[in-house]
Chains A and B, each alone.
Chain A
């Protein structure tokens, strides 16, 4: 069964979004996606939202999903994962044959959360891993090991930041486009050495909505894009027994997605996105996908997480939004020539190695 992205909406990204409630922010992306898909909300069977409790400031955040999507009393559930986990789950929902059209939604009101590092610390295992220091410590451990392997230098890591922030400059929707040098990045304030402030994505506010549907309902959409492969895998949550120089989660997720999409490897895709929530992670993810480090010039044409901002669970939603634009030939000055296939890799962020890969085709 073939599943299609029928419509997309993105409101953001903004360093802060005062004047719009989270409901208003989401309603805007949803409305965009519905008109892009040529549908109205009442035609949907339901929704899959991607979010996590404490970041939103609620203890049962899924309560606050249906209204601003216009899907009250429909089949709605929440995935606590990266946006791609939610998208992949929604695809499975459609593939059961019992549902035809869903909206997939993720958002970030990061600016409304005043204690973000504290919240991330709270994600570490209480028995063994809350050490009383910055939750970015695991990024420092990872990058240290990655450099020790000798495949990458710290300049390579800094170059990821330079590239992404530059890409974002060409994207009018990106919050953090700018020109930086490798020296700027390496010389920035150290947070968890060798990780500097500039190597950690800043947060941003945004909402993203996708309408996906089966072949039966895709007709209403002018520019559908096919979801041809999906995979997801979580590396061990016991960080003491997980390798920190490779992303096993990405490797396994890619295998699953590529075999479904019938492609040999990531190089078969013209458009590539990897999670660059931390700069070194972009290289780790590329490595797991079989991409050499000079491929960084082709990665994340939208500016990635470093350029568009950390949207928590919604991160890969912004990548999928851009991927669909690219495959439709609607990406403006950042359009990649002859874009036929796009691969999006997503990561849940620390302390996890929970990763997902989705392949899209024009």
Chain B
């Protein structure tokens, strides 16, 4: 890294309201943020050279390759467009990818868009997190995100000596800050007691320690310095960026401190010429999906593994908006809401507002020249950091953003998707993962009541799960396998009242999960598993435990053959690592591990879709007049994908003669949606109407598939069924 010489500026921002459930479709949400960002930057789509999109798992919106679905809404149609992804770190990575577009010299401008619609996911978006864990060695344990957060929070508290009520201060502050944010979803004035008395979900995590799930989109416009100077007197520059990704073997590191954030911050500081972040940075927007996370990340951002600086700042009230080190002046994920990727970009937008003096009521008291935003994600694994700065401190500007109130931001909150036109859908997503050489031997160990590791001859680490290469030694081959003692030490743990799908466990049931470093393995090398035969109150970090195995005839060669770990008895013997012969690979021993992504969805049809299907049910077709294109768009549209101007599907509706449709193209389809051959082929037709640009896809009701021809006149068959209800018949 070197000091940055090509300057890239943020010159505009836009965002929807953050809501629990939005009526807008995925693409519609994005389009609303884009329209505002363009307006804020004083540019049109013609001025945009490239578009990049950040959005987190496909499993939220419920659209595979959702970046592709988001092209139109993001302004990416017929433009250089790409989607980048680093899990929960995506939001702050988004301006980094945008910066690459411009700093590389490839483009003058880049529109950076983030979108997340978590509400289609059923029964709860949290369920999607089950499948972020290793499919073979962890998913069978029914873990979800809240468990791993709780596990990390417990470790953080243990290592840095925080009490739960001290961490709650962050939740209280951020939710209060959010009262002044026009997009905020759960801004509220609460007390530490409220947090402490909120429902215990997975000790030490309580309901009010957590940010909510949300639907929203945020967009910003980045440009090179020339464009920025021409557009605004107050450009805010990206001065440094960093992004680092740690190992996916998350049970092999101390979760108390985020090395990956520190490394990312060091990269960004080097580019920005920052040597002392505590002195040289005025505003901090660390990722705060949970209250402790803001502090955990701040340790990394201040490059302070001792944690002393952050503790001092917290207890001295310095994190308040009028303090010396304002933290999350926006209100953060805890207050504004947490539509994952959009949250990160909301933090970047906050730095832009603050550093260009248009944060209104949220403007921090001190003069500020520099801010840092950070996001985090994956399996406690990725840190993304952006440092932004201005030419000179500025405050008190009166702009749209300084005065914005919630009513001025777009986005339609709904209570229940079933109240509007919608579609229910359950994808059938099943897998069988090849175990490969190392995991075959590892899982064979479970069948035999053994925990197996493999040893790297270069670094000497005994690793579990066994692997066939060393990730830290230039992929050195690892071919030495051992049976290890089935005992170990609890590094951290959670006592959980919630199941993987976020539902509460039956009263009295507590699932105990712990990260256990295994005896005989390298330091901190461990695995996650359940605890049993112990009163939850007695579980402690540092407790010695031993595996309890299923009876031999019930073992199947997976991680559930180990029922749980129980406390080690006094004087109980511990074995020694024993070198073993790995399983020989042949076509019977080479096994695969079954799995699935167990989600279902309820999608709203969106604002345009609602109008379209209401018409369709009455046998009518209406398009939407676009002033920009001077054409009628079909199907019904709530935005124009060329200009990204907002359209009103009702006010701009243009009735189209429903009987004027002709077959533009067609195909006789023999397989169903899963690829199974159907008894009777079906005809899919693309219908065009002379009065409109655009077409409608649907199925044709016909008894003779061979008679179908292009140019045939068709009419629709009225239906209220979204998607599969799109049917036509010949006139």
Contacts and interface: CB of A to CB of B under 8 A. Distances in A.
A128 B243 contact: no
Contacts of A13: none
A97 interface: yes
Interface string A122-148: 110111111111111101111111001
Contact of B6 (A79, A97, A114): A97
Contacts of B473: 70
A5 B244 CA distance: 23
A193 B685 CA distance: 12
A132 B81 CA distance: 29
A269 interface: no
Contacts of A94: 104
Interface stretch (B129-137, B170-178, B367-375, B502-510): B129-137
Given A52-B65, A127-B603, A72 B472 contact: yes
Interface string B87-100: 11000010001011
Contacts of A131: 684, 697-699, 723-724, 726
A23 B470 CA distance: 11
Contacts of B590: 18-19
Contacts, number: 418
A224 interface: no
Interface stretch (A55-63, A160-168, A299-307): A55-63
Interface stretch (B36-44, B273-281, B432-440): B432-440
Interface stretch (B150-158, B420-428, B554-562): B420-428
A237 B377 CA distance: 28
A91 B82 CA distance: 14
A13 to B, nearest CB: 15
Most buried by B among A31, A109, A132, A244: A132
A231 B675 CA distance: 34
A148 B585 CA distance: 53
Given A79-B83, A127-B606, A233-B78, A352 B434 contact: no
A92 B169 CA distance: 42
A142 to B, nearest CB: 8
B287 interface: no
Report the contact-size class of chain B (Cβ under 8 Å from the partner).
35 or more
B667 A354 contact: no
B471 interface: yes
B233 interface: no
B668 A193 contact: yes
Interface in B141-192: none
Contacts of A59: 57-59, 128-132, 597
A123 B697 contact: no
Contact of B431 (A24, A114, A139, A193): A114
B260 A62 contact: no
Nearest to B81: A234
Given A52-B64, A73-B260, A240-B635, A126 B249 contact: no
A189 B677 CA distance: 10
Interface string A231-259: 11111111111001000110011001000
B80 A233 contact: yes
A252 B78 contact: yes
Identify whether the interface residues of B are mostly helix, strand, loop, or mixed: mixed
A248 to B, nearest CB: 6
A89 B77 contact: no
Report the contact-size class of chain A (Cβ under 8 Å from the partner).
35 or more
Interface in B466-509: 467-469, 471-475
Interface of A: 1, 17-25, 27, 30-31, 34, 40-42, 52-55, 57-81, 85, 88-89, 91-98, 109, 111-123, 125-137, 139-145, 148, 189-195, 231-241, 244, 248-249, 252-253, 256, 348, 351-352, 354
12 contacts: A18-B592, A21-B433, A21-B436, A27-B475, A54-B59, A62-B86, A77-B85, A85-B82, A133-B671, A139-B667, A190-B668, A241-B693
Interface of B: 1-2, 4-6, 25, 27, 56-59, 62-65, 67-72, 76-88, 93, 97, 99-101, 103-106, 128-132, 134-135, 241-249, 259-260, 263, 267, 271, 377-379, 381-382, 423, 425, 427-439, 467-469, 471-475, 585, 587, 590, 592, 595, 597, 601, 603, 605-606, 609, 612, 633-635, 641, 664-675, 678, 681-682, 684, 686, 693-699, 710, 722-724, 726
Given A126-B723, A244-B665, 6 more contacts: A19-B436, A74-B244, A79-B82, A98-B1, A193-B668, A249-B78
Nearest first, the 9 closest Cβ-Cβ pairs linking A and B are A140-B667, A21-B436, A117-B675, A95-B104, A237-B71, A134-B671, A67-B471, A76-B245, A92-B104
